[in-house]
Amino acid sequence: MKNKLEQIKNQAFTDLHDLMNKKTSLNLEENLRTLRIKYLGRKGELSQILRNLKDLSVTEKKELGALANSIKKDLEAVFKEKEDEILGGNSKDYDLSLPGKEIKTGHLHPLTLIQRDLEDIFKSLGFSILEGPELESDYYNFEALNISKHHPARDMQDTFYVNWEKNKKDEKLVMRTHTSPVQVRAMQTYGAPLKAIVPGKVFRNEAIDASHEHTFYQLEGLMIDKDISITNMIALMKELLKGIFKKEVPVRIRPGFFPFVEPGIELDISCQLCGGEGCSVCKQSGWLELFPAGMVHPKVLEAGGIDSKKYSGFAFGLGLTRLVMMKYHINDIRLFNSGDLRFLEQF
Ligand code: FA5
């Protein structure tokens, strides 16, 4: 038995030596594991001998038990040494109590942050949040808004025509140029009274500069009820700006023309980038066009199936991307779609 134990030990050392010297071995790690199982595994010869010790006399048990255990210890040590050699030798240096590497998580885009703030403000005022298709029919984008086929107002919003693709109703499709088409869609679905906002992406075939993009965000607002006046509208617009900027922002109101409102206004805010001094974003004027609005045109109410003699309402089309520029003092609109992490990681 003693010889047998010595033989096992010698054979294990020889096999291990041969394996480690076989430089060509592709599966060194796996072969080492197989060898370990052969000599130290539960079904290995050494384990069997250790299991059978109980059948021996007390003296033999003592002598052979000590030898078998010492061989087992030696083999365990040498296998561990070889494993460390193969795996880079630092397995014993792991400190599992150390904190792990921080996994970088994403965060919300500045546009989403402001959009959520606005949604909270409007929800607290009882407005619903709606959405509409980005690929819109020519009818909803223009005609339902009182912009007929050859109306010059179409030039104000040059769009991307989708190969004059048509929908099921045989209508031409365009990338929507504003969120206003959802006005008529909402009226048709919910009727009056109605209080809703529509945040969303819009597209224009536009010459790009510091304050103009081809793809940007707007937030449409619509309130229809009995006895709604322009005073309600201006009060709401000011309330909204106060909620976002957390201070009174100087505004100016001037007449504006949009075929879907009557009367129409433009609310500009004092440029928050230059403090009204003039810069490339406000085109040296000190004011930024942000918030066009007006009383919904009777023809639009009728297109939405609402009796214009009974109901009136206002609508506005906030330039959401520009509002975010003003809030965070971003001096170039092109940064929003750039995907530049140096920009995005600041929020
Ligand atoms: C409209 O789009 C109208 N639908 C707004 C409206 C709604 C009027 C309801 C009346 C009633 P306008 O083309 O001016 O209007 O665009 C609205 C706002 O979007 C502008 O004030 C501006 O802040 C922003 N905007 C317009 N063009 C661009 C652009 N190319 N890049 C970034 N923001 C833009």
Q: Of 67, 93, 119, which marks where a domain is finished?
A: 93
Protein residue with its CA nearest to atom 30 in ligand 1 = 212
Same domain, 243 and 122: yes
Protein residue with its CA nearest to atom 21 in ligand 1 = 290
Same domain, 70 and 137: no
Quote the CA–CA distance of 142 and 301 in Å, as a whole number: 14
Spatial neighbors of 281 by CB under 8 A, at least 6 apart, are 210, 211, 271, 273, 274, 288, 325, 331, 332, 333
Q: Which atom of ligand 1 is nearest to the CA of 157?
A: 13
Q: Which atom of ligand 1 is nearest to the CA of 314?
A: 11
Same domain, 88 and 114: no
User: Is 103 domain-assigned?
Assistant: no
User: Is 329 domain-assigned?
Assistant: yes
C-beta 268 within 6 A of ligand 1 = no
Q: Which atom of ligand 1 is nearest to the CA of 206?
A: 30
Count up the domains in the chain and report the number: 2
Protein residue with its CA nearest to atom 13 in ligand 1 = 157
Same domain, 181 and 155: yes
Same domain, 213 and 310: yes
Name the strands in the sheet holding 215-225, side by side, starting at the edge strand that comes first in the sequence.
128-129, 194-203, 215-225, 312-319, 287-296, 261-270, 251-255
* The token pair that represents 337 in the structure block: 């779609």
Protein residue with its CA nearest to atom 5 in ligand 1 = 317
User: Is 201 domain-assigned?
Assistant: yes
User: Is 104 domain-assigned?
Assistant: no
Same domain, 221 and 338: yes
CATH number of the structural domain spanning residue 115: 3.30.930.10
User: Is 9 domain-assigned?
Assistant: yes
Global pTM reads 0.72
Q: What is the pLDDT of residue 159?
A: 80
C-beta 136 within 6 A of ligand 1 = no
336 C-alpha vs ligand 1 centroid, how far in Å? 17
Quote the CA–CA distance of 225 and 312 in Å, as a whole number: 6
User: Is 200 domain-assigned?
Assistant: yes
Q: What is the pLDDT of residue 197?
A: 98
Quote the CA–CA distance of 40 and 75 in Å, as a whole number: 8
Same domain, 72 and 162: no
180 C-alpha vs ligand 1 centroid, how far in Å? 10
User: Residue 334: how many CA atoms within 13 Å on its side-chain side?
Assistant: 6
User: Is 277 domain-assigned?
Assistant: yes
Cβ-count burial 318-341 (b if 16+ within 10 Å, e if not): bbbbbbbbbbeebeebebbeeeee
C-beta 178 within 6 A of ligand 1 = yes
DSSP for residue 103: P
Q: What is the pLDDT of residue 83?
A: 83
Name the residue range of residue 81's domain: 2-93
Q: Of 28, 61, 93, which marks where a domain is finished?
A: 93
* The token pair that represents 228 in the structure block: 């709604």
Same domain, 274 and 128: yes
Q: What is the pLDDT of residue 94?
A: 66
Same domain, 35 and 119: no
User: Is 33 domain-assigned?
Assistant: yes
One digit per residue, the tens of pLDDT, for the chain of length 347 reads 788 889 999 999 999 888 888 755 568 888 888 999 999 998 888 888 888 888 888 888 888 888 999 999 999 999 888 888 877 655 556 677 888 888 888 889 999 999 999 999 999 999 999 999 999 999 999 999 999 888 887 888 888 877 766 777 777 889 999 999 999 999 999 999 999 999 999 999 989 999 999 999 999 999 999 999 999 999 999 888 998 899 989 999 999 999 999 999 999 999 999 999 999 889 899 999 888 999 999 999 999 999 999 999 999 999 999 999 999 999 999 999 998 999 998 98
254 C-alpha vs ligand 1 centroid, how far in Å? 15
Same domain, 184 and 311: yes
90 C-alpha vs ligand 1 centroid, how far in Å? 63
Same domain, 162 and 269: yes
Same domain, 221 and 260: yes
345 C-alpha vs ligand 1 centroid, how far in Å? 28
Q: Of 41, 61, 93, which marks where a domain is finished?
A: 93
